[in-house]
């Protein structure tokens, strides 16, 4: 107990003195690794998150909903990493005009669809399957909320810049996060992106603690700049990345490997978020180069080769639903490979517009050529 109290003391002290957190942080150089969708799927199927719906686990939800409704009565809310949409229950008393929840775990979304069936029927609520790092909608909201999930969604600056177009003028970003020193680094980075409207810590009798906050992000131009200069040396996500020369070499080697087999193809390399770095097309390739970046994005997103994902799409309905939710971004067919540097996922390579087994062989041959740098 004494240790827990000491830990809470350090966490609270670090809220406005980040150096205190850095001083006492254990494993400070170990990056935060986002959990794969399979882990969440399993945990939702096992009912692990049923406890999140219990009242003594939801102080942070209720406080965040009240903070938001205080500034934006009848708010329009987009929640990313919404799970089963339990946060909506806390907004209910504030009569939100709209709540859209997005989560990449199919079992979570299925449970939420049942839970909030009545509100969905009136159009007040929508729950969608999608990856929170790349989800897009034209709808605008008073707040975008990240509740207990921001550490799974990549660089904070990229994330806030990505959702800035979905915020109404003067809109905010809501956050709840488990109080712990390393995730609090993300809070310090979010703070720098705008004006802090509310910041509070919840301390429960059973030892739990959450940070709850609302930030009004700076203008879109400032956010775009912040995204460009995001990575400070102490960054929680500091990690290896693909550079452009290596990406070009990989795509070129894949096109050449297929040319040697008599196939004119397209090849693409994407980064760890599935954004294309390189798209190459042999002039005689029969199609526009659309499939290759989608195949590479799927390999990066699921950290799996297309040769494994293609049969999985037929056998695993939850996986198939994830692909179906983003057909213009993901293609799980054979011919793609995830890319790793120092054991960390850095992106994907894919070949398309030829037979799938040829595409797979060309991608593997290209990757083998640069095995000293990337695997
Ligand atoms: C601890 S739960 C929090 C659920 C909910 N926000 C709450 O406060 O009750 C974290 C959620 O983030 C989701 N998640 C993690 N990474 C995600 C991603 N890349 N895209 C969408 N959802 C993600 C998980 O599936 C899980 O439902």
Domains 2-228 and 244-369 in one fold: no
Q: Ligand 1 within 6 A of 40 CB?
A: yes
Q: Which two tokens stand for residue 168?
A: 């109404």
What is the distance between the alpha carbons of residues 362 and 353, in angstroms, rounded to a whole number? 12
What is the secondary structure of 58-103 as a DSSP string? Answer: -HHHHHHHHHHHHHSSS-EEEEES-TTTTHHHHHHTT--SEEEEEE
Structural domain spans, the chain = 2-228, 244-369
Q: Which two tokens stand for residue 88?
A: 């909506």
Q: Tens-of-pLDDT digits for all 375 residues of the chain?
A: 677 778 888 999 998 888 888 888 887 777 777 888 999 999 999 988 887 778 888 999 999 999 999 999 999 999 999 999 999 999 999 999 999 999 999 999 999 999 999 999 999 999 999 999 999 999 999 999 999 999 999 899 999 999 999 999 999 999 999 999 988 999 999 999 999 999 999 988 877 899 999 999 986 655 565 555 544 433 444 457 889 999 999 999 999 999 999 999 999 999 988 889 999 999 999 999 999 999 999 999 888 999 999 999 998 887 888 888 888 899 999 999 999 998 788 999 999 999 999 999 999 999 999 999 999
Closest Cα partner for 297 from 257, 345, 258, 259? Answer: 345
What is the distance between the alpha carbons of residues 125 and 29, in angstroms, rounded to a whole number? 41
pTM of the model: 0.68
Question: What's the confidence (pLDDT) of residue 235?
Answer: 41
CA 303 and chain centroid, separation: 14
Q: Ligand 1 within 6 A of 149 CB?
A: yes
Expressed in angstroms and rounded, the spacing between residue 107 Cα and the centre of ligand 1 is 12
The best mutation among 149, 159, 183, 326 to test binding of ligand 1, ranked by most ligand atoms within 8 Å of the C-beta, falls on 149
Question: What's the confidence (pLDDT) of residue 18?
Answer: 87
Block residue for tokens 């979570």:
108
Q: Ligand 1 within 6 A of 301 CB?
A: no
Question: What's the confidence (pLDDT) of residue 231?
Answer: 45
244-369 has CATH 3.30.450.150 classification: yes
Closest Cα partner for 208 from 175, 177, 179? Answer: 179
Please provide the size of the chain in residues.
Answer: 375
Residue nearest to atom 4 of ligand 1 (CA): 83
Q: What are phi and psi of 252, to 5 degrees?
A: -60, -45
Q: Ligand 1 within 6 A of 82 CB?
A: yes
Strand partners, 260: none
Q: Kindly report the number of other CB atoms within 10 A of residue 96's CB atom.
A: 25
CATH class of 2-228: alpha beta
Residue nearest to atom 3 of ligand 1 (CA): 148
What is the distance between the alpha carbons of residues 15 and 318, in angstroms, rounded to a whole number? 39
Sign of CA dihedral 81, 83, 89, 92: positive
């Amino acid at each position: 107990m004494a240790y827990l109290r000491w830990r809470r003391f350090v966490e609270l002290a670090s809220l406005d003195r980040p150096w205190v957190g850095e001083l006492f942080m254990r494993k400070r150089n170990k990056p935060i690794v986002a959990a794969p969708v399979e882990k969440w799927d399993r945990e939702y199927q096992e009912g692990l998150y049923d406890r999140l719906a219990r009242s003594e686990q939801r102080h942070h939800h209720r406080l965040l909903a009240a903070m938001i409704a205080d500034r934006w009565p009848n708010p329009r809310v987009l929640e990313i990493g919404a799970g089963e949409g339990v946060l909506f229950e806390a907004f209910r008393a504030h009569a939100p005009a709209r709540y859209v929840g997005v989560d990449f775990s199919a079992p979570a979304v299925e449970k939420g669809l049942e839970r909030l069936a009545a509100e969905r029927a009136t159009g007040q609520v929508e729950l969608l399957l999608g990856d929170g790092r790349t989800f897009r909608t034209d709808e605008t909201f008073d707040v975008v909320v990240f509740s207990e999930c921001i550490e799974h969604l990549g660089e904070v600056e990229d994330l806030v810049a990505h959702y800035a177009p979905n915020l109404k003028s003067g809109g905010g970003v809501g956050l709840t996060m488990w109080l712990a020193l390393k995730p609090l680094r993300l809070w310090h980075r979010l703070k720098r992106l705008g004006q802090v409207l509310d910041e509070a810590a919840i301390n429960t009798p059973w030892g739990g603690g959450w940070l709850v906050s609302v930030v009004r992000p700076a203008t879109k131009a400032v956010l775009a700049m912040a995204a460009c200069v995001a990575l400070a040396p102490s960054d929680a996500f500091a990690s290896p990345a693909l550079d452009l020369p290596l990406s070009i070499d990989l795509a070129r080697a894949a096109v050449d490997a297929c040319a040697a087999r008599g196939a004119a193809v397209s090849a693409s390399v994407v980064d760890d978020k599935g954004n294309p770095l390189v798209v190459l097309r042999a002039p005689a390739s029969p199609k526009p180069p659309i499939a290759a970046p989608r195949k590479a994005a799927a390999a990066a997103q699921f950290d799996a080769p297309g040769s494994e994902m293609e049969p999985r799409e037929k056998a695993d309905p939850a996986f198939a639903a994830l692909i179906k939710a983003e057909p213009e971004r993901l293609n799980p067919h054979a011919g793609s490979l995830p890319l790793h540097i120092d054991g960390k996922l850095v992106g994907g390579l894919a070949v398309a517009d030829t037979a799938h087994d040829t595409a797979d062989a060309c991608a593997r041959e290209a990757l083998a050529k640069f095995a000293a740098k990337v695997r």
